[in-house]
Structures are given as structure tokens and as C-alpha cells.
Structure 1
Amino acid sequence: MPTVRINDENVTFNEGATVVDAVAQTTGRELTAEGKPADGGRLGVAVALAEEVVPRSRWAGVELSEGDQLEIVTAVQGG
């Protein structure tokens, strides 16, 4: 079970977990394998792994490993 650092917090995942799983857990939303909200709404999230942006199209294919560092940024409307 890998422990991953997400936004400066350690989080443990089951083996085989992917970036989709990390985003779902962090946002509290159910996501499809494509990283889209299961409810059809908008997500407004960007992910960086080891300081490199991971395109949403690759989220399901990027498996989490022990010690990975993710930054998950959520867009917020307002000004």
C-alpha cells in the first residue's frame, strides 16, 4: 500500500491506485475512469506529479508509487 504526499499531507492508497483515485479522494467526488465527474458536472482540477503536470487523459494510466508527491489544485471562481 503506497503512501503518497498530496498537497503536503500523507495519504495511503491500495496497490494499483492511480491519479484518478487520488483526485477522487481529495475532491470527495466519484470519478469515471477518464477522470470526469460521475455526476456529469465540472471538476476544475489540475494535477502535478513530481512537479510535472499530468494531463487528465493520462490520469487513469499513472499508477501511484510509494513516496510520490502530488499537487492537486482546484479552480475557484470569484475575484
Structure 2
Amino acid sequence: MKLNGEWHEIPEHLDDVRTLLSHFQLDNRVVMVELNDTILEKSEHGHSQLHEGDQIELVQFVGGG
């Protein structure tokens, strides 16, 4: 799958957006997820299945000042 513009081999057990975020230790952070040009609500992460060839963009929000 294409993740943030680069092709990656993702383990098969990462079958939805929620498990993907957990794998990258982003599950407890504010992250915007775009799956195949569609921005997902957080409530959709658990049932948004991942498939070979998907394109995912993850944007993490960082505070500062």
C-alpha cells in the first residue's frame, strides 16, 4: 500500500485503519487519516478495511508555540 506517498509492505494482520494506527503507535494521538482520497472520521477507523493498493495519508497534529 502507499503510505504518505511511499509504497510499503504492510503485515496482513493490519487489516483496518485502527490496527494500522496502533502499529505505528499513533492510536492515542490526534491524526487525520485519508484513505483513497476520502478523509475518515475517527469513528470510521475500526471498520475501514485496508486492501492491497490502498493509498493512505496520515497527518499528525503537533502543538507548539
When normalised by structure 1's length, the TM-score is 0.68
Greater relative contact order, per chain length (Cα 8 Å cut-off, separation 6+): 2
1:65 maps to what in 2?
51
Q: Percent identity?
A: 27
Q: Retained in 2: the 8 A contact 1:18–1:59?
A: yes
Which amino acid in 2 is paired with 1:7?
N
Q: Which runs of 5+ in 1 are unaligned?
A: 32-36, 38-42
Q: Retained in 2: the 8 A contact 1:46–1:72?
A: yes
CA 1:8–1:25 in 2, change beyond 3 Å: closer, same or farther?
farther
CA 1:74–1:58 in 2, change beyond 3 Å: closer, same or farther?
same
Q: Which runs of 5+ in 2 are unaligned?
A: none
Give the CA deviation at 1:8.
2.0
SS at match of 1:11: coil
When normalised by structure 2's length, the TM-score is 0.80
CA distance in 2, matches of 1:6, 1:48: 10
Report 1:4-23 matches (<5 A): 4-9=1-6, 10-14=8-12, 17-23=15-21
- The number of residue pairs the alignment matches comes to 64
Give 1 or 2 for the bigger CA radius of gyration.
1
